């Protein structure tokens, strides 16, 4: 589905729990798109205080606010011609949502402190772990922005929903870690595989990466919810 979406230029909404690889999918959609020679620019909407978000998104002019000692391009300008990835879009404040909607509708931005607008050509990929439709119904997210973002969507399954793929991913991570550390290849013992298959993986792929790294370092498998008692060790 991601490959299909890369062939069109519509906005994409990627939904999935934390650690399921939303940004990796955004990168892959950009790489396979006609915009792949242009910038891929990312911004985590939850990582910045509200008073800095608009400046980060749209840029600012010198003197626009205290501390604005020079003019600065925002993420939309930096991504012009390419792709802008907005992670944790559900954390965007309502006022910033209104400005974002205006940019998506009109295809132009205005820096904070400026009276002039400028055209931008940006494909937007947004991601969230939250249910934006429910947030829209309760007034926590603009419904018009939700439908503007939700042109096409991609739902990433949690690791616990991937069935036997979990072991394939675990083996790939373990092989990568062994190569990175310059050590001989390792494999998971049967009891370790059983623990990995039945563990719920609340941290998803990020947590699995950490487990693979522990194995490659020769440390015990630390799965708090492993079903078979003590955590199995490295074979």
| pLDDT tens for each residue of 106-148 | 999 999 888 889 999 999 999 999 999 999 999 999 999 999 9
Say if residue 221's pLDDT is above 80. Answer: no
Average pLDDT over residues 182-211: 91
Average pLDDT over residues 82-88: 97
**118 φ, ψ (degrees, to nearest 5):** -140, 145
pTM for this structure? Answer: 0.85
């Amino acid at each position: 589905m991601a490959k299909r979406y890369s062939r069109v230029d519509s906005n994409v909404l990627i939904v999935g729990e934390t650690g399921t690889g939303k940004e990796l999918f955004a990168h892959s959609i950009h790489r396979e798109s006609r915009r792949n020679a242009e910038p891929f620019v990312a911004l985590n909407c939850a990582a910045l205080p509200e008073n800095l978000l608009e400046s980060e998104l749209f840029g600012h002019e010198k003197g626009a606010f205290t501390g604005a000692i020079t003019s600065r391009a925002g993420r939309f300008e930096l991504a012009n011609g390419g792709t802008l990835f907005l992670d944790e879009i559900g954390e965007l404040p309502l006022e910033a949502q209104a400005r974002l909607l205006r940019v998506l509708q009109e295809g132009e931005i205005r820096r904070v402190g400026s009276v002039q607008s400028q055209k931008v050509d940006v494909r937007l990929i947004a991601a969230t772990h939250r249910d934006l439709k429910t947030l829209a119904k309760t007034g926590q997210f603009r419904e018009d922005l939700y439908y503007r973002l939700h042109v096409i969507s991609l739902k990433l399954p949690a690791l616990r929903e991937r069935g036997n793929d979990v072991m394939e991913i675990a083996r790939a991570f373990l092989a990568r870690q062994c190569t990175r550390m310059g050590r001989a290849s390792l494999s998971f013992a049967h009891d370790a595989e059983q623990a990995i298959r039945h563990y719920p993986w609340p941290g998803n792929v990020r947590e699995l990466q950490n487990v693979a790294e522990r194995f490659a370092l020769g440390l015990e498998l630390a799965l708090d919810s492993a079903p078979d008692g003590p955590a199995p060790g490295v074979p």
